[in-house]
Amino acid sequence: MLFLVAALLLLGVVMGTVAHAPLGFSLAAAVVIAAWLGIFALRERHGRRRHTSTH
C-alpha cells in the first residue's frame, strides 16, 4: 500500500513538471521513455523464453 501511495505521489510530481515543460521536450521525453520500456520488455521476454526452455 505504501508503494502505491509513493507511486501516485511521484506520478503527481511528474505530471506537474510536464505541465510546465515545453511541448517539444515533453514529447521527446515520452519517446525516450517509450523506447526504453520497449527495449526492456523485449529483453525480459527474450530472457524468460531462453530461461524456461533450458529447464
pLDDT digits (tens, 9 = 90+) for 1-22: 888 889 988 888 888 888 888 9
> Does residue 24 register a pLDDT over 90?
yes
Question: pTM of this prediction?
Answer: 0.58
Q: What is the pLDDT of residue 41?
A: 93
User: What's at 2, amino acid-wise?
Assistant: L
Q: Rounded to an integer, what distance in angstroms lies between the CA atom of residue 7 and that of residue 4?
A: 5
Q: Quick check: 47 and 54 in contact, CB under 8 A? A: no
> Grid coordinates representing 36?
526504453
Instruction: Report the distance separating Cα 5 and Cα 45, nearest Å.
Output: 29
Residue 53, pLDDT score: 56
Query: Could you give the residue ranges of the DSSP H alpha helices within 1-55?
Result: 2-20, 23-53
Question: Which 8-state DSSP code applies to residue 21?
Answer: S
